[in-house]
Amino acid sequence: MVHPEARWETVKRIHQFVLDRAPDERSTVLTDMCGGDEPLRHEVESLLAQEAAADAFLETPAVEVAARTLADARAATLLGRLLGHYRVEALLGVGGMGEVYLARDPRLDRTVALKILPADFAVDEERMQRFTREAKAASALNHPNVAMVHDVGDSAGVRFIVMEHVDGQTVGAKIAEHALSVADIVDVAMQVADALDAAHSKGIIHRDIKPANLMLTRRGQVKVLDFGIAKTAQTEPATASESTGVTQTVVGALIGSVSYMSPEQVLASDLDGRSDLFSLGVVMYEMATGQLPFTDPTRAELLDAILHTAPQSIRSGRTDVPIELERITFRCLEKQREHRYESARDLFKDLCALKRQLQDVNGATRHTRTTADRHQSDRPLEAYELVGRGRHHLLSGSFFELPQAVAAFRAAAELDPEYAAAHAGLALALGGQAVQRAVPYQQAFADARVAALRALAIDAESADAHVALGQVLFLSDWDWPNAERSFARALEINPNHPEAFLHYGGLMEALGRLDRGLQLKQQALERDPTSALAHVLIAVSYWNQRRYDDTIAWVDRALQRDPKHPFAHQLRAGAYFKKGDVAGAMKGDFAMAESLGASEEKLAALRRVWAEMTDAQATGGHRALVRCILKHVPDESGPGSAALRLPVLYAETGDLDTAFAHLDRAIDARDPALVHLAVAPAWDALRPDPRFSERLRWMRLPTDCVGVA
């Protein structure tokens, strides 16, 4: 027996396919599609009849009316029911990707939005797995203008996605009330462009930007909905089981969204981020005029207009719209994507410049506020722009962009001391610099602590701030219990925060739970597959497990994503050295020097040192090699990478007293690399000495970790 919802999905697909045909072809096509199934044909014809009778078929397609009827029927059975541990409370709405319900999560005592996925998702395991992976990747978008994805679940055959519940109204509802003011158009577009920039930097294209997917909170903050969902829905090929030959497309991917599609989507071409910019241009046009730029009466004519027709001037019906806003909008609406903005960041910059011009013209003044509860547009424009710039540098994952991130966040915090995102971003960037030893780490951690605590004083629900504070507690204070509480709290707020998983995993490894640490890091990678940092820290997990070939393999993957990652090169050299492959270790050192921009003179000196090391190993073996390395490592007692290498090298030569003396100096300096003292193989030469266990106990680290020789 065919499940009613599966039957409904077939009706929707045929209905959509027939609508794409010219009116004089539809009867023949419908006959071919239904293949003698008269009840099926009757259902499709019923929808087509409603479609023809509608006064505005693009605004309220018949298939949406039928979908709402089905949703109302299902709502009667779901209200009050538990899906997983979420209690369904009310039906919020119906969209192309299914129904949305208000639900309560009793564990965290918060309301969430549950999106019930269509039946064809529920019966296609491969497709559901792919959807889950993409939803997790989208959930890694840690951005204030992206609605958070908390979870993907399955309860008694009902598949659902758990999202942040945004209390407000859609931009579509706002437009239905009246056209937006110029200031509001620019403000909304800026926030969406900033969110798209964050998504595109992660390789995620939304593909369904439209007013219904843009929520406005009461404070004027935009939340972009359905990242990762539209992408999966619109790219699924037909399966072998579909004898009709209809392309598998979830209803709503075209119907209801077709007016916002880019020419590339209409032509089913490969897409990049500029497709989203076209859709945002349509939304900007609609916010300004209350009308869509392409409004032809039939689907075929509409698609042709998207491909070939220029919209009417915005200013022809609304003279208060600045010429610059019309120029920006029409650049987004260019038919050839090469003529649009190259990136969402470029669009964001132009919008910021326009907002600055508007403020100057209107004599806008900046007001200092003492509360975080401010309207989004009240925030100083420069602060908002600086946070966007800082986040852009931070999300690049590049060691070399951390100084720019720190500078941008710090400037934003100075402009607007009540901007939680600026303080939280600054804390994360400073923590990154401390870990990478780009600056004196003790001061960087101290400054990161101040910034994180300031962010939490403004917004106790800042996941970024909890991660940054946990990083300080873990790597600087060596306060393992409170560090764990901070990471756990961050994941309660945002269950898909990649950095929270990564640092939590590092903490678990420090405490000897190597398998648990690796598992947490792999969860981070699931949520952000593009992250070079995640690949490097997974390599660290294998390093701690003495799986050196796996360490090298994962470092190589990291270097494919960030060829200049210094720690990746350093870890690669260490793994080769542990394998006894000195030549491989030397190549790793050379690659690291190149990544840091070493001069030809320094590279030539490094080659001479290698030659000396090779001779030493050939004539005196491993200890002679290590003594040769020691000759070229400065005898520093202060913080720094050399100070940490000295105890390891002296231990390799057998001089344990000197090794422990240098180790004690590093402990006194609270070197962050010592958090893995209990498990890292670099310390294996010291491990049998009873003095080593004394140091572990002083640091409150385990002395009997599994997997440590």
DSSP 548-605: HHHHHHHHHHHHHH-TT-HHHHHHHHHHHHHTT-HHHHHHHHHHHHHHTT--HHHHHH
Q: Which residues pair with 698 in a beta bridge?
A: none
Q: Which residues pair with 222 in a beta bridge?
A: 216
pLDDT value of position 48 = 65
Q: Please say whether the beta carbons of 79 and 90 come within 8 A.
A: yes
Residues classed as catalytic: 208
The length of the chain is 709
pLDDT value of position 370 = 36
Distance CA 311, CA 385 (A): 30
Of 65-79, 141-155, 272-286, 637-651, which range is least confident?
65-79
pLDDT tens-digit map of 206-247: 888 999 889 998 888 899 988 755 454 444 433 333 322 333
pLDDT(66) > 60 = no
pLDDT(569) > 50 = yes
Please tell me whether residue 168 adopts helix, strand or coil conformation.
strand
Q: Which residues pair with 168 in a beta bridge?
A: 217
Q: How confident is the model at residue 613 (pLDDT cuts 50, 70, 90)?
A: confident
Of 124-128, 248-252, 605-609, which range is least confident?
248-252
- What is the mean predicted confidence (pLDDT) over 419-445? 89
DSSP annotation of 165 reads: P
Q: Please say whether the beta carbons of 193 and 117 come within 8 A.
A: no
* Helix axes of 182-201 and 381-395: crossing angle, nearest 10 degrees: 10
Q: Which residues pair with 105 in a beta bridge?
A: 110
Using CA atoms, how far residue 314 sits from 187, 336, 410, 468, 695, in Å, is 18, 20, 39, 46, 71
pLDDT value of position 229 = 58
pLDDT value of position 363 = 58
Distance CA 353, CA 602 (A): 44
pLDDT tens-digit map of 471-484: 999 999 999 999 99
Sequence-distant (≥ 6) Cβ neighbours of residue 224 within 8 angstroms: 145, 146, 147, 192, 195, 196, 206, 209, 213, 214, 215
pLDDT value of position 10 = 67
Residue spans of beta strands (DSSP E) within 210-284: 214-217, 222-224
pLDDT value of position 600 = 85
Q: What domains lie within the chain, and their CATH numbers?
A: 168-364 (1.10.510.10), 366-478 (1.25.40.10)
Looking at mean pLDDT, say which of 18-27, 39-48, 155-164, 187-196 comes out highest: 187-196
Other Cβ atoms less than 10 A from the Cβ of 323: the count is 9
pLDDT tens-digit map of 656-666: 999 999 999 99
Instruction: Transcribe 100-152 into DSSP letters.
Output: EEEEEETTTTEEEEEEEPPHHHHT-HHHHHHHHHHHHHHHT---TTBPPEEEE
Three-class DSSP labels, 279-310 = HHHHHHHHHHHCCCCCCCCCHHHHHHHHHHCC
Q: Which residues pair with 149 in a beta bridge?
A: 163
pLDDT value of position 617 = 80
Sequence-distant (≥ 6) Cβ neighbours of residue 294 within 8 angstroms: 259, 282, 302, 305, 306, 309, 311
- What is the mean predicted confidence (pLDDT) over 310-333? 92
pLDDT tens-digit map of 468-526: 999 999 999 999 999 999 999 999 888 888 899 999 999 999 999 999 999 999 999 88
pLDDT value of position 6 = 57
pLDDT(119) > 90 = no
Torsional class of 2: left (φ above 0), alpha (ψ -120 to 50), beta (otherwise): beta
| CA atoms lying within 13 Å on the CB side of residue 36 | 0
Q: Classify the C-alpha dihedral 422-425-429-435 as positive or negative.
A: positive
- What is the mean predicted confidence (pLDDT) over 411-429? 92
Q: In what order do the strands lie in the sheet with 214-217?
A: 168-170, 214-217, 222-224
- What is the mean predicted confidence (pLDDT) over 452-477? 92
Q: Which of 431, 380, 425 is nearest to 407 (CA)?
A: 425
User: Which element (helix H / strand E) includes 315?
Assistant: none
- What is the mean predicted confidence (pLDDT) over 317-334? 93
Please tell me whether residue 82 adopts helix, strand or coil conformation.
strand
pLDDT(101) > 60 = yes
Mean pLDDT of the chain: 81
Distance CA 574, CA 584 (A): 9
Q: How confident is the model at residue 4 (pLDDT cuts 50, 70, 90)?
A: low
pLDDT value of position 148 = 84
pLDDT(315) > 80 = yes
pLDDT tens-digit map of 521-560: 999 988 888 888 899 999 999 999 999 999 999 999 998 8
Q: How confident is the model at residue 60 (pLDDT cuts 50, 70, 90)?
A: very low
Q: Which of 667, 675, 598, 660 is nearest to 639 (CA)?
A: 667
Tokens, residue 264:
């590339």
DSSP annotation of 83 reads: E
698-705: list long-range contacts, CB under 8 Å, 24+ apart. 698/667, 699/478, 699/667, 699/674, 700/478, 700/480, 701/510, 701/511, 701/512, 701/677, 702/511, 702/512, 702/678, 703/678, 704/512, 705/512, 705/514, 705/678, 705/679
pLDDT value of position 687 = 92
- What is the mean predicted confidence (pLDDT) over 354-362? 80
CA geometry: angle 660, 663, 666, nearest 5 deg: 155
Distance CA 154, CA 73 (A): 20
Looking at mean pLDDT, say which of 19-28, 143-152, 365-374, 444-453 comes out highest: 444-453
- What is the mean predicted confidence (pLDDT) over 674-693? 93
Other Cβ atoms less than 10 A from the Cβ of 569: the count is 24
Q: How confident is the model at residue 347 (pLDDT cuts 50, 70, 90)?
A: very high
pLDDT(364) > 70 = no
Tokens, residue 483:
């560090």
Tokens, residue 703:
């002395």
Sequence-distant (≥ 6) Cβ neighbours of residue 380 within 8 angstroms: 366, 415, 416
Sequence-distant (≥ 6) Cβ neighbours of residue 358 within 8 angstroms: 182, 183, 186, 322, 364
pLDDT value of position 517 = 96
